[in-house]
Amino acid sequence: MKHLNKLVLIIISITFFSCEVVQEVNFNEDKSGTQSLSFSFSEMMNMGMPPEQDTANKLTDTVIRFSDFLEQKKDSISKLSKEKQEKIKQLENFSLYIDSDSLSTKLEMKINYDFKNLKDLALFSEKLKDQDIKELDQFTTKIEKSKKNDDANIFDFNTSFKTTFNNKNFSLKITPETLEKIKSKKDSTLTKDNPMLDLMRFKVKYTFPYRIKKISNKNAKILYDFKGFEISANVFEMENNPKHFDVEVEFEKD
């Protein structure tokens, strides 16, 4: 579970060090779907940042399904308070893929979440926070250490943006509160020609059961089947235009 602890820390602090972080949301007609968050640490590690000693010379290629984890640990979980049992149960719709090779400095992770509706989608990050059981001790400890990074300006799309979706339209808009916070904490030292900026890119990708007729964001790239789009940005673009990912989509009529 050590790899899991590292992943959750990164998700919660929203402080990414990889070459590219990809958030993907796939919608069904009933507004349910799957969200995934994937990232690679290969670039970071190749820049001279070695793996931790306790993970040196190890290979990992595995999938962790939390529904299976909860079943395996059900006896110990049953001894927790009702509140803690309800909290850990929130992980059952998550799964995690890990592919790492410390010798070749490769570490890639992808976490998936099956959501029921838009309200449930917005709880993605919240459900990962403060999981306090024996098997996740390091998880809780690292969350406490990460609190100093709470003001990071890299977006958490589940809390910093408002998402709407139906069979006619889709929209993603940054909240006024987040916009004001980013403006007040803007890093004026970032410059467009900084060679390090493109080592930290963020991409969002949304797919739908409907074909796209119109899309408002000029930064958006429509997918080949017209049933989705993606938008990417580096840190400078995100800092200097917090509305870089704002988008409105109109779907074709049946």
Q: What are the DSSP calls for 128-190, one per residue?
A: HTT--SGGGHHHHHHHHHHGGGTT--S--HHHHEEEEE-SSEEEEEE-HHHHHHHHHT--TT-
| Encoded tokens for 176 | 């006024």
Mean pLDDT of the region 19-48 = 78
Pair 101, 223 in one domain: no
Domain boundary among 108, 126, 152: 152
131 confidence band (pLDDT: 50, 70, 90):
low
48: left (phi over 0), alpha (psi -120 to 50) or beta: left
Residues 168 and 223 occupy one common structural domain: yes
Distance, in Å, from the CA atom of 37 to the CA atom of 16, rounded to the nearest integer, reads: 12
pLDDT at 128 > cutoff 50: yes
Same domain, 209 and 244: yes
Q: Determine the structural domain holding residue 182 and report its residue range.
A: 153-254
Helices in 191-233 by DSSP H: which ranges?
Answer: none
Distance CA 238, CA 192 (A): 11
For residue range 34-69, list pLDDT tens digits in order. Answer: 999 887 655 444 444 444 555 445 556 677 788 888
Predicted pLDDT at 49: 47
Shared domain for 9 and 127, answered yes or no, is: yes
Residue 16 neighbours by CB distance under 10 Å:
20
Judgement on whether residues 234 and 138 belong to the same structural domain of the protein: no
Q: Are residues 226 and 139 in the same domain?
A: no
Residues 127 and 7 in one domain: yes
Strands 106-115 and 221-222: unpaired
State residue 198's pLDDT score.
64
Give the integer Cα–Cα distance in Å for 10 and 73.
Answer: 25
Q: Are 101 and 220 in a shared domain?
A: no
110 vs 54: CA distance, rounded Å: 21
pTM of structure: 0.78
- Do 169 and 122 reside in the same domain of the chain? no
Which of 152, 185, 215 is the last residue in one of the domains?
152
Residue 231 has pLDDT above 50, yes or no: yes
106-115: strand order across its sheet: 59-65, 94-101, 106-115, 33-40, 20-27, 201-207, 228-234, 221-222
Average pLDDT for 213-223: 96
Q: 222 and 174: one domain? A: yes
Confidence check: pLDDT of 253 > 80: yes
| 134 shares a domain with 204 | no
Q: Which tops the pLDDT comparison, 87 or 164? A: 164
**Residue 14: what pLDDT?**
39
Residues 91/70, Cβ–Cβ less than 8 Å: yes
Name the domain boundary from 127, 152, 177: 152
Is 112 in the same domain as 161? no
Give strand pairing partners of 230: 205, 221
Percentage of the residues of the chain whose pLDDT score is greater than 70:
65
Region 223-232 average pLDDT: 96
Work out how many domains the chain is built from and give that number: 2
Structure tokens at 151: 């003001």
From residue 174, alpha-carbon distances to 161, 211, 223, 250 in Å are 4, 24, 23, 18
